[in-house]
Amino acid sequence: MWHWNARTSVGIALRGGRRLVYGSPMTSLDLALIGNGRIGALVDAQGSVVWCCFPRFDGDPVFCSLLAGEHPANANGTFTIELENAERIEQEYLANTPVLVTRLHDHAGNVVEITDFCPRYESGDELFCPPLMVRQLRPLAGRPSVHVRLSPASNYGCAQRHASAQGNRVTYGGEPSLCLAANVPIEPIVDAIPFFVQDTIWLAFGESEATAAALKEMPGMLDKTTKHWLVWLRNLDPPGEWTDAVVRAAITLQLNVYEPTGAIIPAVTTSIPEAPNTGRTWDYRYCWPRDAYFTVAALSRVGQLRSAERYLDFLFRVADANKDSRLVPIYDVDGRAIPAEHFASCLTGYRGMGPVRIGNKASEQAQHDLYGEAVLSAEGLFSPADFGQAPTAGVGQGQLLARLEAFGEHAARLYDNADAGLWELRGAERVHTFSSVMCWVACDRLSKYAEGLRKKSRADYWRAHAAKIHDVISRRSWNARLNAFTATMDGESLDASLLLMPRLGFLPAGDPRFVGTVAAIEKHLKHGDFVYRYIERDDFGFPENAFLVCTFWYIEALAAMGGERRRQGRALFEKVLSARNRHGLLAEDLDPRTLEQWGNFPQTYCMAGIIDCALALAKAEKQNTTTS
């Protein structure tokens, strides 16, 4: 457990002999994520809710002080619980759950405990996960006096919602209508005056209908939610080492799966900059088929296949909206088009670093790797052990293969066409090697799926396409001068995504061409211990911070290469884990000099990277033990 001196904005902690500064949303991403697959909220080190959209991930940020600049306490969109004269705070997750506990101590020995969670549990045949946040206040010692300030925002922080109190409820106008319900008189909260916590207090905030129904059920909701996550954990199969890190990563990934539709988002936030004052601010509250694949793959590898099945249902639904099953780079969580990119004028940004964006212009791009990721998302459902096990399973897999083949046709057609690439460059399109490799992956996996189902003609058909694409990539993306595969066909620059070649099956890790590619990436893209996506100038200048998932891909590559390289990967993995915040979470980017986190938070690429690397290193260790 972590302890620190409570201040207005900053707390101090020690880790491994280094002095780390944690604190308010103005100064760090020392935040915890709570959620239930319908909404996701970020809670800061003082127990304040600094970000939460309603009624879903890509909705209006009702709590948005995270992006309200240098003085978030004075902005619309706040939900704080302060202990008067607080001098010490403790905060941690309940083990193996996304239930957050914050304990505030004052100088006189009074202690209050805040338990934050979003209800999630089975109710009959359905998963109950309403757009609802619950905060429990419990006195642990003395007579703690607290001050609750609640100011829900509307229209991305532009307005404060009108409050109307009646009984033990406060209704907040706007769309959707929101409500705070409590099991105690509501006046001290409405009037923003301190009050003593003498018994357990329950506060429920969310959509009016969900909140009204929740008041009598809140004590049971906490127990049911905790039990739900512990049961969920029993079906998890983490490696023997780094278990806690993998479990926290898996829970975090699951919180980014939108339960009503199966869509998966990269992060619950928008516009936390990749680096200070760069303008690299993006809205990540939508579903990218590419990012979703990495989440699905990581969860499948630790035994959670439900998310893969539900995501594929989502993917087929959005593909069916076009006669040719064409995919686009981004969907909203219902599978529709996302808003055209524009700015939220009333939010000044994280630490005042805007702009704050709504929507994402990348939705207008061509990104051909999507078809490979779509086919790969089904890999966990085509386990060799399952082939031919039961007639019903065989029929299901046959139907699944037929649906996936439509994606393969696009891949076979587009593999050498120019696109924006996985890094979504906003300048000129090029033929990106990673996109071509993923088109090869689509054809290669379809041949394997078909072979497993004894569909020889389909296996031969896709194998021929895969061989053709492999040959073109091997000729046009290999640069003999650099002794490496390049970012684009006939190109001269490098791309860290090509570290995935062994994982994707394009080349074995010991192939001299891959060994050369790794060496070139180490020489040109590795700064200190961390790997950059690329180093050339793009639409926003030169990259300043490391895109953290690239370092995870580098670790995976080192593990696959074995020997001393495996040991290097293990040491680097431990260093990356040390850069997580106190709750085990990672943002998208990392300053390699200070290990400060930047970018949208928490980022599924990186949380998936924790799982992938832990499994890759465990596999390499097992192979090393077997052969030695």
How is residue 339 annotated by DSSP? P
86 has which bridge partners? 106
Mean pLDDT value across residues 54-81: 89
* Interval 121-141 mean pLDDT: 95
pLDDT at 6 over 50: no
Going by pLDDT thresholds of 50, 70 and 90, the confidence category of residue 628 is low
Report how far apart, in Å, the C-alpha atoms of 97 and of each of 243, 249, 281 are. Answer: 14, 11, 30
Confidence of residue 391 (pLDDT cuts 50, 70, 90): very low
pLDDT at 74: 61
pLDDT score for 428: 79
Q: What is the pLDDT of residue 27?
A: 57
What backbone torsions phi and psi does residue 553 show, to the nearest 5 degrees? -65, -35
Would the CA dihedral through 348, 350, 354, 356 be positive or negative?
negative
**CA-to-CA separations, 245 to 34, 88, 545, 596, in angstroms, rounded:** 17, 26, 23, 19
Which residue, among 3, 5, 40, 8, has the nearest Cα to 26 in the 3D structure?
8
Mean pLDDT of 95-104: 98
Q: Give the model's confidence band at 19: pLDDT under 50 very low, under 70 low, under 90 confident, else very high.
A: very low
pLDDT at 568 over 50: yes
The pLDDT of 394-416, averaged and rounded, is 91
Cα–Cα dist 570/552, whole Å: 11
What tens digit of pLDDT does each residue of 273-293 get? 999 999 999 999 999 999 999
Residue 2 binned pLDDT confidence (cut-offs 50, 70, 90): very low
- Of residues 339, 340, 296, the one with CA closest to residue 315: 296
Dihedral pair phi/psi, residue 117, rounded to 5° = -160, 165
Residue scoring higher pLDDT (385 or 530): 530
pLDDT of residue 383: 72
Q: In a 3-state reduction of DSSP, which class is residue 85? A: coil
Residues of the chain above pLDDT 90, percent: 84
φ/ψ of residue 311, rounded to 5:
-65, -40
Task: Say what the pLDDT of residue 473 is.
Answer: 98
- DSSP states of 233-255: HHT----SSSHHHHHHHHHHHHH
Give residue for tokens 């229209």. 155
CA distance 176 to 227: 30
User: Exposed (0-12), middle (13-18) or buried (19+): which is 209, by Cβ within 10 Å?
Assistant: middle
Amino acid letter for position 145: S
Helix ranges (H only) for 340-385 are 370-376
For residue 15, pLDDT over 50 is answered with no
CA 471 to CA 138: how far, in whole Å?
A: 65
Mean pLDDT, residues 589-609 taken together: 96
Q: How high is the pLDDT of residue 71?
A: 66
Higher pLDDT, 14 or 412: 412
pLDDT band of residue 69 (cuts 50, 70, 90) is confident
3-state secondary structure of 207: strand
Cβ-Cβ contacts under 8 Å for 320 (sequence gap 6 or more):
none
Please state, in angstroms and rounded to a whole number, the distance separating the CA atoms of residues 402 and 506.
Answer: 24
Cα separation values, 324 from 39, 413, 605, Å: 33, 13, 29
Confidence band (pLDDT; 50, 70, 90) for 627?
low
Q: What is the DSSP letter of 287?
A: B
Q: What is the pLDDT of residue 20?
A: 31
* Spatial separation of the C-alpha atoms in residues 334 and 507, rounded to whole Å: 37
Q: Contact 378/319 with Cβ under 8 angstroms? A: no
Which pLDDT band, with edges at 50, 70 and 90, does 622 fall under? confident
Residue 298: per-residue pLDDT: 98
pLDDT at 72: 63
Residue 384: band (very low, low, confident or very high) from pLDDT cuts 50, 70, 90: low
Is 28 a residue whose pLDDT tops 90? no
Residue 390 has pLDDT above 50, yes or no: no
Q: How confident is the model at residue 480 (pLDDT cuts 50, 70, 90)?
A: very high
pLDDT at 257 over 70: yes
Over residues 246-256, mean pLDDT? 98
Average pLDDT of every residue of the chain? 91
Encoded amino acid at 213, one letter:
A
Q: Which residue has the tokens 């100011």?
A: 151
pLDDT band at 88 (very low <50, low <70, confident <90, very high): very high
pLDDT tens by residue, 315-366: 999 999 998 999 999 999 999 999 999 999 999 999 999 999 999 999 999 9
pLDDT of residue 408: 98
Q: What is the pLDDT of residues 197-245, one digit of tens each?
A: 999 999 999 998 888 778 778 889 999 999 999 999 999 999 999 999 9
pLDDT tens for 421-469 read 999 988 779 999 999 999 999 999 999 999 999 999 999 999 999 999 9
CA–CA separation, 613 and 224 (whole Å): 32
Rounded Cα gap, residues 335 and 377, in angstroms: 17
DSSP code at position 321: T
Length of the chain: 628
Nearest to 578 by CA among 92, 20, 96, 28: 20
What is residue 626's DSSP assignment?
H
Amino acid of residue 99: V
Instruction: Please give the distance of CA 367 from its chain centroid, rounded to a whole number.
Output: 20
Q: Does the pLDDT value for residue 13 go beyond 60?
A: no
Enclosing H/E stretch for 116: strand 111-117
Q: What percent of the chain has pLDDT over 70?
A: 92
Is residue 156 within 8 Å of 356, Cβ to Cβ?
A: yes
What does the block give as tokens for 45? 């080190």
For tokens 């930047």, name the residue. Answer: 598
User: How much is the pLDDT for 211?
Assistant: 85
Predicted confidence band at 396 (pLDDT cuts at 50, 70, 90)? confident
Q: How far is CA 537 from CA 519, 534, 542, in A?
A: 22, 9, 4
**Nearby residues of 543 by Cβ (< 8 Å), 6 or more positions away:** 274, 275, 532, 533, 534, 535
Q: Is residue 331 within 8 Å of residue 287, measured between CB atoms?
A: yes
pLDDT at 23 over 50: no
**Residue 244 structure tokens:** 């806690």
Q: In angstroms, rounded to a whole number, what is the distance separating the alpha carbons of residues 322 and 439? A: 20
